[in-house]
Amino acid sequence: MLTSSTIQETAGAQTNDKKSQASLLQQLITEGQNEASQGFDTKSALEIARIINHEDAKVAAAVKKAIPEIAEVIDQVARSLRDGGRLIYIGAGSSGRIAALDASECPPSYSTAPGQVQYIMAGGPKALASAVEVNEDSEELGQRDIARRRPTRKDVVVGVSASGRTPYVVAAVAYARARGAHTAAVTCNHETPIAGAADICIIADVGPEVISGSTRMKASTAQKMILNMITTGAMTRLGYVYENLMVNVHMQNSKLVERGIRILMSACNIDRETAVQTIKSAGRSVPVALVMLKAKVDKPEAVRRLAKSDGNVRLAIEDNVLEL
């Protein structure tokens, strides 16, 4: 039974906890005030655009400093996908939406199976369009949502959190790591809880936002660049890219069919009619068509080579064994 003194003690603890959280929040770089945008509300449209552009120019340099860690994650994701594992992003708010975007674009770009690259968003799919930010404060929900995906040692779980302290994301990453999954974090602050929860922490220190705390700006731009590098790098390491061509493109609409034709024309230096006919005979598969033309083999042999190389187009052409 709760007594009045117990209630007061509980309320006092909650107040102290809120004060502690507020203090931690104030220390985050992403929550600081940016000197470059002082008096921002008094600026003209041209001045506003110039200030934002000047700050955005700092993002690539911040990401550059994290390249060694990004490369580690690229190789781990490639190994996991090759071995039948998954890449699972988890995030909240703007960070979650960036993660969802990257995961959603892998199937049309690289013909990945829907389950290979996944995302978990605090608040569920409805949070992509509508703010359900209260969920990000719940460790229990984070653990519950990742537990439903049953992470294993084959998987890579990447927590995306600009602040690096989102309870939902931190708890999910810690849970996945405890279950043996390889874990990584993408954040824009140093010395944060998510760094301790993950095996690898990618930090893009982009500094304070033009609008204080608006991490949908520089922080989200940095996160998108990093996630693009992870999936593009992993898919390239797996051989789904030949030279710099998106040869594993999923030809499900007229634009992608045309892209597949142009890719084959460019890679093999052939005319359009030859490219169209080869793609048809290859069962509308650009990788199969490319191996047929480059290795001068028929469709069954091209399919056999691709199966042997786990879909690595270059190794299928050379008929080598895949090594990552």
What is the structure's pLDDT at 22?
A: 52
**Which domains are present in the chain?**
59-237 (3.40.50.10490), 254-318 (1.10.8.1080)
How would you class 291 by CB atoms within 10 Å of its CB: exposed for 0-12, middle for 13-18, buried for 19 or more? Answer: buried
Is 136 a catalytic site residue?
Answer: yes
Whether pTM exceeds 0.95: no
Neighbours of 261 (CB within 10 A): 19
Q: How far is CA 320 from CA 78, 126, 308, in A?
A: 18, 45, 8
In total, the chain counts a number of residues equal to 324
**Could you tell me the end-to-end alpha-carbon distance of the chain, in angstroms, rounded to an integer?**
61
Residue that is written with structure tokens 């069962």 in the block = 283
Whole-number pLDDT of residue 34: 78
CA angle, corner 98, sides to 92 and 102, nearest 5?
Answer: 125
Give me the pLDDT at residue 157, please. Answer: 98
CA 199 to CA 183: how far, in whole Å?
A: 5
**pLDDT of 125:** 84
Q: Which of 31, 55, 136, 209 is catalytic?
A: 136
72, 105, 301, 318: the active-site residue: 105
Task: Clarify whether 35 is annotated catalytic.
Answer: no
3-state secondary structure string, the chain?
CCCHHHHHHHHHHHHHHHHHHHHHHHHCHHHCCCHHHCCHHHCCHHHHHHHHHHHHCCHHHHHHCCHHHHHHHHHHHHHHHHCCCCEEEEECHHHHHHHHHHHHCHHHHHCCCCCCEEEEECCCHHHHCCCCHHHHHCHHHHHHHHHCCCCCCCCEEEEECCCCCCHHHHHHHHHHHHCCCEEEEEECCCCCHHHHHCCEEEECCCCCCCCCCCCCCHHHHHHHHHHHHHHHHHHHHCCCCECCECCCCCCCCHHHHHHHHHHHHHHHCCCHHHHHHHHHHCCCCHHHHHHHHHHCCCHHHHHHHHHHCCCCHHHHHHCCCCCC
pLDDT tens over the chain, length 324 residues: 434 443 344 334 333 444 445 555 567 878 878 778 888 889 999 999 999 999 999 999 999 999 999 999 999 999 999 999 999 999 999 999 999 999 999 998 898 988 999 999 998 888 887 776 667 889 999 999 999 999 999 999 999 999 999 999 999 999 999 999 999 999 999 999 999 999 999 999 999 998 988 889 999 999 999 999 999 999 999 999 999 998 988 887 888 889 889 999 999 999 999 999 999 999 999 999 999 999 999 999 999 999 999 999 999 999 864 444
Contact 218, 36 (CB under 8 A): no
pLDDT given for residue 37 in this prediction: 82
